[in-house]
Structure 1
Amino acid sequence: MARKTDGKNGAPDPMRYLKERSGNWHYVRRVPAHVAFLDDRGTIQISLKTRSLDVAKLRRDAHERADDLYWQGLAAGDGAQGAVASYEAARSRARVLGFEYKAAADLAASAPIEELLRRLDVSLKGNERDLDAATGQAEEPKLSVTKAMTFYLETIAIGETKGMSENQVRKREEKKKAAAAKFVEIVGHDGPLLDVTRSDAVKYHKWWMERVLGKDGQKKTSGNTANRSFGSMRKLFREYASYLHLELKNPFDGLTFPDRKSQKRVVPPFEVEFIRDRILAVGAHEGLNREALAIMLVLVETGARPSEICNLPPERIHLKANVPYITVDYQEERVIKTESSTRDIPLMGVALATMRKFPNGFPRYRDKEDTLSATLMKHLRAKKLLPTPAHKVYSFRHSFEKRMLEAGLDYEFRKAALGHTVDREKYGDGGSMAWRLEQLQKIELPFDQRIVP
């Protein structure tokens, strides 16, 4: 709901909806035109019962929020946004009346008779909204699991996507919605999220556990994958209940899955000879588009993650420096994997030659690392350039790590070069770029300039 502004940087007018009459302050506000047919109050005029401007502003803020939420609920109708806004409006209205909002059942069960009488006395002097707010008769929004997940993504957790690219947001939403959809499928109904029982959660946990253990001949799922999906439901329930100020026991709590490291599939590295004789062979990559080939060649001599090279903006490519390098760091519209991923990578060999041909990066694959991976895997399979089915595009990164290890490069240097966390306090800047390049040149591979696209 739009607020009155003072015309300076769009800041709210500090005197909005305040009128002084005979020394006392009043809250005066017109009902917005778009909900006027649903709220017949016309112009709202309420005494704030104070001569203090500071106190009046605090009481104005409470009335303002209650009305904003009420109108938001009216405008949204019977949808998820409307149901939640109406409930929140009742909670805010209760605070305006001087009470903490409590559900009617809780009041009947535990509230002293004196409190009940005070609530009734105050609410009967007002309107139906006051009665619902003071006596706890506003219904908790009974959003289905599916609708609650959508509300969570669009409202409650919207701040979590700050700094994410469009593709990162899309992938996050797909995973969260997939978890909710699978839960609904397993329990057999899309009932209200707040009505989910421990039995429902256990049934969903059992379904995942069967896949983690590979029962009945099913392909095994890692415990990490199961924990992430199940955890999405645990977090949804917790955050949704918290948003509504409800203290409910989370039916998903305490249910997890084993995740032994040995269960994880290891992506093997390419051997040095294979990269030198097959990957870097002239004519080995006919049919592959220039940008995909270029990114692959940069991966060979940087050990970077594919997404880090896909999303390099021109200003992170420093070809005119004394030692040319690229920078992997935070971008305004894209988060990186971890803080330790932030680093400068000196360019050498085929990576340097390739980046000189692509000084502005790779726009075809910006924010499309999944497309790049699919393109490269299809190409490598077709050209029989995958020694085993376990080899992936990530094998270039693992190969870079193995090459550094076998060349005797320092452990912490290797970790920093790959953007891994070093388990101690960081000192200095990791060495000059010239020194870093000197270290990495110990593993530099020969190449024919004709391979550079």
Structure 2
Amino acid sequence: MHAWSGSHIVQPKTLILRGTTYYLNRRVPPGYQGVESRPWLVVSLKTDSRVEAEAKARAVSDQTCLGWEARLKGQTDDAMVRFEAARDLAQAHGFRFAKAPQVARQPLTEILDRVDAARDPAGGLMKADAIAVLGQTDPPHITVTEALSIFWVLTEERTHGKDADQLRIWRNQRKRAVANFIDIAGDLPIETITRDHMLDYRQWWWERIRDEAMTANSANKDILALMKILRTVNEMKRLRLDLPVGKLAFSEGEQITHLPFSNEWTRTVLFKPGVRGGLNDQARDILLALVNTGCRPAEIAGLRPHHILLDHKVPHISIAPDGRTLKTIYSHRKIPLVGISLDAMRRNPNGSPRYQASGSLSAVVNKFLRLCCKNGLPVVQQSLKKEK
């Protein structure tokens, strides 16, 4: 940004008194002379009070500087930057940016005020200002793929604190949603997306639910991720598009109730001493650690040595943010270790390095549990290959 030296400090020579009215009188800095035809800025402050004039002069100086900055910014071939510059310039004149058809629907007094704001001292129209206040700049053509790239930048605060694996999972869900939409409708400029495109996308998901045993929950995650991307870019970039993204989610209906393993089956079959069921040592011990702690698998997998306090009077683990974010603010807690969970952590006092930065744990354990339920443990031992 070009600094207007002293723009926040009104020097005595900056204010001039003509009759009973104070005026702001400042030379235009060299850095702005390419976008300002006047060598001097002379503006009536419409007051005879020196104190009020000083306050108004600071505000006018700052607002004028913002307008010059916007004009400089608009001198580019980048459509997005030009659009943002026009929006900023309209705001510098005190108007909310609106496209030409919207401006035309405003009261006549506002339209005339916008025209007056774009006039130079000689009465002619300043091109950049007229384009900005009269809405002659169209939003840039942003494709769905480009929208995703912009979304990453706009949502940096949402990924702050996530470790590499958490970030990969978060990003992959949104990449998948965009890829699915593009497969159905193409990589469209987002302003050209119609309700029909979104309904085609929803229908594609319905066919997967019907024919491929996909769940409504999976479809809704995908649809809502895409909607969030489009809405965020539209809102944060102030494109003011009317996106057709409402009422697309599926009803998830009554949820299937999964019966718990009986205590007897768990003790005598699933966790029978010496039985591995094809799981490697770390995966099996993580599963055992879940039993008496109630932790999420990722919480046990993410434990570091200083989180595992086995020599304490009450052996326990500490679930805390440490290079990764927790699921909720209430997830930060200490949990005592007892029984097989304590034994599992004693075998892994340094945690589970294999799964600390890997998203493969759930797939490994879930495959083991599904086969246990379907075939019984002896078959599991034959069917599930031991991980190397």
Report the TM-score range of the alignment, normalised by the length of the smaller protein: 0.7 to 0.9
Aligned-pair CA distance for 1:68: 7.5
Count the aligned residue pairs. 355
Partner of 2:82 in structure 1? 86
Q: Residue 222 of structure 1: which of 212, 215, 239 is its match?
A: 215
Equivalences for 1:153-172 in 2 at 5 Å? 153-155=152-154, 157-172=155-170
Paired residue type of 2:311:
K
Query: Normalized against structure 1, the TM-score is what?
Result: 0.65
Aligned-pair CA distance for 1:205: 2.1
Structure 2 unaligned segments of length 5 or more: list them. 16-25, 46-52, 378-388
Partner of 2:181 in structure 1? 183
Checking the alignment, whether the CA contact within 8 Å between 1:73 and 1:84 is kept in structure 2 is no
Q: Which segment is superposed worse, 295-304 or 123-132?
A: 123-132
Checking the alignment, whether the CA contact within 8 Å between 2:288 and 2:341 is kept in structure 1 is yes
Q: Residue 208 of structure 1: which of 205, 209, 215 is its match?
A: 205
Paired residue type of 1:56:
R
- Give yes or no for the alignment of 1:303 onto 2:294: yes
Alpha-carbon deviations, 1:5-62, whole Å to 9, x = none? xxxxxxxx9968979582356774858xxxxxxx9679x9884957637853685377
SS at match of 2:372: coil
Q: How far apart in 2 are the matches of 1:203 and 1:236?
A: 18
Q: Which has the larger radius of gyration?
A: 2
CA RMSD of aligned residues (A): 4.0
Q: How far apart in 1 are the matches of 2:5 and 2:266?
A: 67
- Give yes or no for the alignment of 1:98 onto 2:94: yes
Structure 1 unaligned segments of length 5 or more: list them. 5-12, 32-38, 392-453
Checking the alignment, whether the CA contact within 8 Å between 2:10 and 2:58 is kept in structure 1 is no
Q: How far apart in 2 are the matches of 1:287 and 1:171?
A: 26
Pair 336,16 (structure 1): closer, same or farther in 2 beyond 3 Å: farther
Q: Residue 277 of structure 1: which of 268, 282, 285 is its match?
A: 268
Paired residue type of 2:229:
L
Query: Normalized against structure 2, the TM-score is what?
Result: 0.74
- Give yes or no for the alignment of 1:129 onto 2:120: no
Checking the alignment, whether the CA contact within 8 Å between 1:292 and 1:376 is kept in structure 2 is yes
Partner of 1:437 in structure 2? none
SS at match of 2:98: coil
Partner of 2:318 in structure 1? 327
Q: How far apart in 2 are the matches of 1:367 and 1:150?
A: 25
Q: How far apart in 1 are the matches of 2:309 and 2:272?
A: 27
Aligned-pair CA distance for 1:267: 5.1
SS at match of 2:327: coil
Paired residue type of 2:65:
H
Checking the alignment, whether the CA contact within 8 Å between 1:279 and 1:385 is kept in structure 2 is no
Q: How far apart in 2 are the matches of 1:377 and 1:149?
A: 32
Aligned-pair CA distance for 1:247: 4.4
Checking the alignment, whether the CA contact within 8 Å between 2:66 and 2:89 is kept in structure 1 is no
- Give yes or no for the alignment of 1:363 onto 2:356: no
- Give yes or no for the alignment of 1:292 onto 2:286: no
Q: How far apart in 1 are the matches of 2:323 and 2:280?
A: 26
Partner of 2:69 in structure 1? 67
Q: How far apart in 1 are the matches of 2:177 and 2:197?
A: 14
Checking the alignment, whether the CA contact within 8 Å between 2:177 and 2:222 is kept in structure 1 is yes
Q: How far apart in 2 are the matches of 1:286 and 1:310?
A: 19
Pair 135,324 (structure 1): closer, same or farther in 2 beyond 3 Å: same
Pair 308,190 (structure 1): closer, same or farther in 2 beyond 3 Å: same
Partner of 2:23 in structure 1? none
